Amino acid sequence: MKIRLLLTAIISLFLLASCNTVSNDKFIVSGYVENVGDINKILLYEGETVVDSITLDKGKFQFEKTAKEATLYTLVIGYKPYMLVLKNGDKVEFETDLNSDASQYSVKGSETSSKLQELSAIRERFQEEQTALQNEFEQRVNGGEEVSVIQDELMEKSFNSIQKISEQTLQFSNENKDNLAGFYSMLFLFSIDPTNYEEQLIKYASEVKSKFPNNPFVQSFVKHMEELKPLSIGQDAPDFTSLTPDGKAVKLSDLKGQYVLLDFWASWCVPCREENPNIVSQYHRFKNKGFTVLGVSLDENRASWLKAIKDDKLDWTQLSDLKQWNSGAGQLYNITAIPTSFLINPDGKIIGKNLRGVALKQFLEKNL
């Protein structure tokens, strides 16, 4: 996806890591690792590329490298990653104990790296919670419980976990608005909950634009947020016209006066088909209370599209120009992945995005 590529590029670079001064043409990272066991090497990654490796000498190591710009590196010791922001002139001291978790370590000589340690702890908690939910799902399925019941329950737990971690991440960012650790935390927030925190992300982008005007990765993030703004919550939903299976032209604005779930999907999209039963359930529950669905398919095979509508019992209006990713409506709404949905209020304004499963049910129960 374009978004993932954008984020991968952005998070590979940070600025302003304060340091002890050494030679201006290199940085030095020296450290000590306790309880190394049979691990004898440390790898140094820049992005996804190994740029150096070194053999541990009784737990001690030292790297010397060159990085003109402050760059995000990752020390990998065994299976544990440790993030450091390094640039020429830095002299960093690192210590950890492999018997502790990856967020427990000591780093001196890089203020930004020290701040990222706190964010690493937040990320570690999130990953542990999500892994625990996945393990619980597998155990309960193996125990013979009904899959749909387990999914509904664990999706709600996951939603609550994401909400809690997102709040902590936003607080961390607010406390680090003057440095790139705050920028990195907003990227993490964007990766786990971009919809519910869309307003904060767009606002942050407008603020950070002038703080780091020469940072190309900050500016790429700013540009991306500016592209999302016309389709953000609170904006008018762009109107369009497309065709039903029998060739009738229908406008989005024809449904004004109702709550509309604008659902972008396709017959070949497995996650879309898996979500369809939930949309069917909510549609029949709320269709007499001012709620409807408008499906826009990114199919190009008419027969497959019609078969999916019939098989999934999609009783609401369906539209498609059968141009797949070149769909006019899809391009208007900047669709780069499906399923993607927009919830539109009776006045034609976007009030929700990508509400699926329990989230869609809870929203409709609250508002209708």
Q: Band of the pLDDT at 151, cuts 50, 70, 90? A: confident
The domains of the chain, with CATH numbers, are: 19-109 (2.60.40.10), 117-231 (no CATH), 241-367 (3.40.30.10)
Higher pLDDT: 257 or 23? It is: 257
How far, in Å, CA of 43 to CA of 99, rounded?
18
pLDDT class of 205 with cuts at 50, 70, 90? very high
Q: Which residue has the higher pLDDT, 217 or 21?
A: 217
Work out the average pLDDT over 305-327.
Answer: 96
**Looking at residue 25, what is its pLDDT?**
86
pLDDT band (50, 70, 90) for residue 340: very high
Q: Is the pLDDT of residue 14 over 60?
A: no
The tokens 């002299």 sit on which residue? 91
Q: Please give the average per-residue pLDDT across 213-230, as a whole number.
A: 85
Q: Is the predicted pLDDT of residue 113 greater than 50, yes or no?
A: yes
pLDDT for position 23: 58
Question: How many Å apart are CA 247 and CA 238, to the nearest integer?
Answer: 22
pLDDT bracket for residue 83 (50, 70, 90) = confident
Q: Could you give phi then psi for residue 75, rounded to 5 degrees?
A: -80, 125
- pLDDT for position 347: 96
